[in-house]
Amino acid sequence: MHSTTDAVIPNGSAGSGINGHDSYDMDAPTIQPKFLPKRNELGLVAVGFSGGQCKPGVDAAPMALIESGLVNQLKDDLEYTLHYDNQVHAYSDLMPASDPPHRGMKNASAVSAVTQKLSSQVYEHAKHGRFVLTLGGDHSIAIGTISGTAKAMRERLGRDMAVIWVDAHADINTPESSDSGNIHGMPLAFLTGLATEEEDKPFGWVKEDQRVSVKKLVYIGLRDVDRGEKKILRENGIKAFSMHDIDRHGIGKVMDMALGWIGRDTPIHLSFDIDALDPMWAPSTGTAVRGGLTLREGDFIAECVHETGSLVALDLVEVNPSLEEQGAAETVRAGVSIVRCALGDTLL
């Protein structure tokens, strides 16, 4: 059932539980601590990039999150040793002079250049055994973060990585299925290899060892999925927990099922789009959708993933302080809270 490498501690009764795969098995094999991020070593990358969509302002999020005390809290309260270059990267030197649409994608060269650079930044941190926290920026940056960690985990553990994507949206459009042409709605198509490119640019640079399997992708919080995306999810048997599933089972059971699907022997990259939260809690975001997660449900997801001990990286994306400005401080606060929970903050 579970394949084991020397990175994994075998532990008898793998894969049992109520629905076999579907519940979290505390006795299943786990990843050996020496292969996981070193305790409390944190690599931080601040990405001030908005080119994956059309609304300005999402590039200001990293500074807003940091100014609201996030970095100090990680150092002082959670006792992380921080590896941070003290800058919000705008990658201005990488911006092309002109950026005509490519297969209908907007700003394809800019997103390509930024994500390729980001991929190597994230890879460097992960390779040195650090947990990698990336503050976005729009969700297109996940092409960079996930490709970087996936490659590093293959090298360090010899294993494929899982991705938990918490979002109102599936972000798995191919350039052809996308209605908007916004690349923040496409990162998972390139990361899973469902969309490919012949040439290195824009996204042919994402090679096999930087990809994630559709079988190791799990969604939580979906409620605004495009028709073409529903087809992609169905045809590829992708595990997805929509708001309907959360209403039906409660977030506790949904987390058991989500983590049970992944298994205990797999490193996890958590990509958290703040628009997964209901606009009541996070109004300042580019594509808000009502009927979302409560703040506690969002924090609970992050807490549960932390508790697995297998979390190796976190993205926090799509906070846009210039939208719904009266709610910006609250949105930033929600983002800070999610990050703290994912990094091990506890209520007691």
Ligand X SMILES: NC(=[NH2+])NCCC[C@H](N)C(=O)O
Q: Which residues would be at the binding site for Mn ion (CB under 5 A)? A: 139, 167-169, 171, 273, 275
Q: Pattern 245-274, binding to ligand X, x per CB under 6 A?
A: ----------------------------x-
For ligand X, the closer CB: 188 or 342: 188
- Choice from 25, 59, 99, 226 touching ligand X (CB under 6 A): 226
Does position 308 interact with ligand X (CB under 6 A)? The reply is no
Residues across the chain: 348
Report the partner that residue 299 touches, choosing among ligand X, Mn ion, none (CB closer than 5 to 8 A by kind).
none
Does position 275 interact with ligand X (CB under 6 A)? The reply is yes
Catalytic annotation present for 102: no
Q: CB of residue 168 vs Mn ion: minimum separation in angstroms?
A: 5
Q: Pattern 115-144, binding to ligand X, x per CB under 6 A?
A: ------------------------x-----
The pairing of strands 239-242 and 217-222 is parallel
Strand partners, 102: 105
Q: CB of residue 145 vs ligand X: minimum separation in angstroms?
A: 13
* Long-range contacts formed by 172-175: CB under 8 A, 24+ apart: 172/229, 172/232, 172/233, 172/238, 173/226, 173/228, 173/229, 174/228, 174/232, 175/102, 175/103, 175/104, 175/105
Helix (H) or strand (E) holding 348: none
Distances (CA, A) of 35 to 266, 267, 304: 11, 10, 20
Size of the site for ligand X (CB under 6 A): 15
Q: Pattern 162-191, binding to ligand X, x per CB under 6 A?
A: -------x-x-x----x-x-x-xx------
Please identify which residue in the block is written with the tokens 């519940």: 23
Q: CB of residue 237 vs ligand X: minimum separation in angstroms?
A: 20
Cα 244 to the center of its chain, rounded Å:
21
Does position 315 interact with ligand X (CB under 6 A)? The reply is no
Strand partners, 44: 84, 133
Q: CB of residue 176 vs ligand X: minimum separation in angstroms?
A: 12
Among 102, 169, 269, 306, which one carries the catalytic annotation? Answer: 169
Catalytic annotation present for 160: no
Report the partner that residue 112 touches, choosing among Mn ion, ligand X, none (CB closer than 5 to 8 A by kind).
none
Do residues 318 and 185 lie in contact, with contact meaning Cβ atoms separated by under 8 Å? no
For ligand X, the closer CB: 32 or 180: 180
Q: CB of residue 52 vs ligand X: minimum separation in angstroms?
A: 7
Helix (H) or strand (E) holding 39: none
Closest C-alpha to 47, from 111, 99, 124, 127: 111
Helix-, strand-, coil-residue percentages of the chain, each rounded to 5: 40, 15, 40
First to last CA, the chain: 36
Q: CB of residue 330 vs ligand X: minimum separation in angstroms?
A: 18
Does position 287 interact with ligand X (CB under 6 A)? The reply is yes
For ligand X, the closer CB: 174 or 308: 174
Report the partner that residue 226 touches, choosing among Mn ion, ligand X, none (CB closer than 5 to 8 A by kind).
ligand X
Catalytic annotation present for 318: yes
3-class DSSP state for residue 147? helix
DSSP state string for 228-263: HHHHHHHHTT-EEEEHHHHHHH-HHHHHHHHHHHH-
Among 102, 125, 139, 269, which one carries the catalytic annotation? Answer: 139
Give the Cα separation of 251 and 293 in Å (integer).
9
176: Cβ–Cβ under 8 A, 6 or more apart, which residues?
A: 103, 104
Q: CB of residue 273 vs Mn ion: minimum separation in angstroms?
A: 3
Catalytic annotation present for 273: yes
Among 25, 59, 99, 167, which one carries the catalytic annotation? Answer: 167
Catalytic residue ranges: 139, 167, 169, 171, 184, 273, 275, 318
Binding site for ligand X (CB under 6 A): 139, 169, 171, 173, 178, 180, 182, 184-185, 226, 273, 275, 286-287, 318
